[in-house]
Amino acid sequence: MSVTVELAETRAAIGSGAADVTAPRLRAAPLAWAAAAVALAALILSPVASLTLTAMQGSGEVWPHLLAHVLPQATMTTALLLGGVGIVVVVLGVGAAWLVSAYEFRGRRLIEIGLLLPLAMPTYIVAFAYLDLLHPIGPAQSGLRDLLGVTRPKDLLLPEIRSLPGCVILLGFVLYPYVYLPTRALFLMQAGSLIEAARILGRSPSAVFLRIALPLARPAIALGTSLALMETLNDIGAAEFLGVRTLTVQVYATWINRSDLPGAAQIALVMLAMVLLLLAIERWGRRGRGYAGSAQRQRSMARHRLSGALGLAALGLGMVPIVIGFLVPAAYLVHSAIARISRLGFPHGVIAEAGNTLLYAGLGTMLAAACGFFVAAAPSLVSRRFGQGLIRLAALGYALPGAILAIGLLGPLTLADGAVSGVTTTLFGTAPAIIGVGAGGALVVAYLVRFLAVGVGACEAGLSKVPGSLAEAGRMLGRTPIATLLRVHLPMTWPAVLSGALLVFVDCVKELPATLLLRPLNVETLATHLYGEAIRGTYEDGAVAALLIVLVGLIPVALLLRLGSPADTRAQNGP
């Protein structure tokens, strides 16, 4: 499962870069850290154990029914969706990375920046936008019919957006940055010397790409593709909006619509097996690949200048994923939000939903940032082996889709809620539900478990840059390890901690499956409000909530743009 650490670091490394300097290992109270390790293990592993127990509680008729009527079709649909999205993100991500890394043309820097923008677009928002835009009576088809003189929608033979191919295309154009980012970084920082050597030896551009650059990029491609596919498996909104009955959609339908929790757990177990298979495939895709030397010592790749028609063609190719993955849905959201506000005013419910979103996402962020900081510090405070074990354990939650996590947390949190209620009844005569679904505690815990690895990755990168001499000085002055961590390490690493917290917050705001399943009754967030409006077909009413989510999603893109320039400068100018 070590690969999940790298998957999380792909998201978390936005906050700061890692360094090779590590602090000396301090000695902490073994019992305290052992208790912390047990608590973390229970928090991460209990959902999987609970999921298995819940699945076993189903009646004898449920599993045969699922095997006969639900699982075959849902599993096949999910596999086809994953395969199609995998092909699209690899083609788009690798092609875009090679375009901006190997060629210089007018507008290249703009394309390089714009290719990051789809990161701000949750998949369900893109599906929401295109579903209205490309509807038979939507603006795109209506305008086309007016242009061609066609009166009836059915006479205009166009591909149906509500289909598996439509879902594959839309998800691929949103998730390709997960492949683009690591592949572009590898092309810029590691492949330059080898590619230049191949060019000097007279290899054609296509041969250089196919025989040198592509094999070198295989680890980055495998890593990014795995992350994109895990996001695809976690998706529920886009698939349901577009009529694709994936395993995730079936989990939601079985639990909420049919009130069959054991049946939903059994479907979730199949999803868990698919997650493990994806991780195994990712590991296989990177087998036997390693690189010697530091990236800073590698010669950057010289770009081949394109001008005239070739330059315009390169600019056009680079704009395609930006237009489809961000500009078109963003323009739709802005237009629809303005139309909604100008016609009916700002929707009052959205303000309360934004408050709920800030509340639950904020609580989950604070817990993930605090726990992530202490988990990341464990290699220094206790021992490297113990600390790395905690970090890998924290990364397991990131590999669990929200639907699996939601079902798995119900049992443990119900037991914990009962225990807390028993204590409060004994002491105070009341039994408040403060942990379970009714109070929203389950949703906060789900955010913590799912996104803890993001906070850990950012904090780990920041702590690695603190000189070891400072921690040693704290020990010599008689400071305890915790005091040294809080008074020395934390002030020096707060930018990394803050960056990780921002990423966790954005992920919590955009998370739909866990929020749909674990939110308190009669409580709506921006994501669930948008989901409800899309199900009802009232797209304009959901545009304001969707636009707010996208604006929040621009935070990591802004961080990437701010932190990307120095790396690009080093890559282009060399040492």
Give CA 447 to chain center in angstroms.
Answer: 12
Cα–Cα nearest to 88, from 228, 281, 269, 248: 228
- Enclosing domain of residue 496: 3-46+73-287+305-344+352-563
For residue 60, being part of any structural domain is answered with: no
Phi, psi of 134 (to 5 degrees): -100, 10
Distances (CA, A) of 259 to 378, 398, 525: 42, 27, 22
What pLDDT is stored for residue 23 in this prediction?
A: 40
Cα–Cα nearest to 174, from 218, 239, 223, 220: 239
Supply 205's token pair.
């551009």
For residues 406 and 518, is the Cβ–Cβ distance under 8 A? yes
For residue 39, being part of any structural domain is answered with: yes
CATH code of residue 41: 1.10.3720.10
What is the tally of structural domains in the chain?
1
The pLDDT profile of the chain, 575 residues, written as one tens digit per residue, is 444 545 455 454 444 444 333 444 444 455 666 777 788 888 888 888 888 888 887 666 666 777 777 888 989 999 999 999 999 999 999 999 989 988 899 999 999 989 999 988 999 999 989 988 887 777 777 777 777 777 776 666 677 888 999 999 999 999 999 999 888 888 877 656 666 666 666 666 677 777 777 787 888 888 889 889 989 988 888 998 898 999 888 888 888 777 788 888 888 888 888 888 887 777 776 665 554 444 444 556 677 888 889 999 999 999 999 999 999 999 999 998 998 888 888 888 888 999 999 999 999 999 998 888 888 877 776 677 777 888 888 888 888 888 888 888 888 887 777 777 777 777 766 666 555 556 678 899 999 999 988 888 878 777 777 666 666 666 666 666 667 677 777 777 777 788 788 888 988 999 998 898 888 888 899 999 998 888 887 887 888 999 999 998 888 788 777 765 433 433 333 33
Segment holding 95, helix H or strand E: helix 71-102
For residue 522, being part of any structural domain is answered with: yes
Cα 75 from Cα 339, distance rounded (Å): 40
Neighbours of 155 (CB within 10 A): 9
For residue 29, being part of any structural domain is answered with: yes
Cα 533 from Cα 170, distance rounded (Å): 20
Side chain identity, residue 71: L
For residues 301 and 195, is the Cβ–Cβ distance under 8 A? yes
- Angle CA 127–334–336, to nearest 5: 75
DSSP 8-state class, residue 305: E
For residue 292, being part of any structural domain is answered with: no
What pLDDT is stored for residue 176 in this prediction?
A: 94
For residue 568, being part of any structural domain is answered with: no
Please, where are the H alpha helices in 236-307?
237-241, 247-252, 261-285
For residue 572, being part of any structural domain is answered with: no
Phi, psi of 225 (to 5 degrees): -65, -40
For residue 549, being part of any structural domain is answered with: yes
Cα 317 from Cα 547, distance rounded (Å): 27
Give CA 324 to chain center in angstroms.
Answer: 20
Q: Under 8 Å CB-to-CB from 505, ≥6 apart: which residues?
A: 361, 362, 365, 552, 555
304 by DSSP, 3-state: which?
A: strand
Half-sphere exposure at residue 450, Cβ-oriented, CA atoms within 13 angstroms: 34
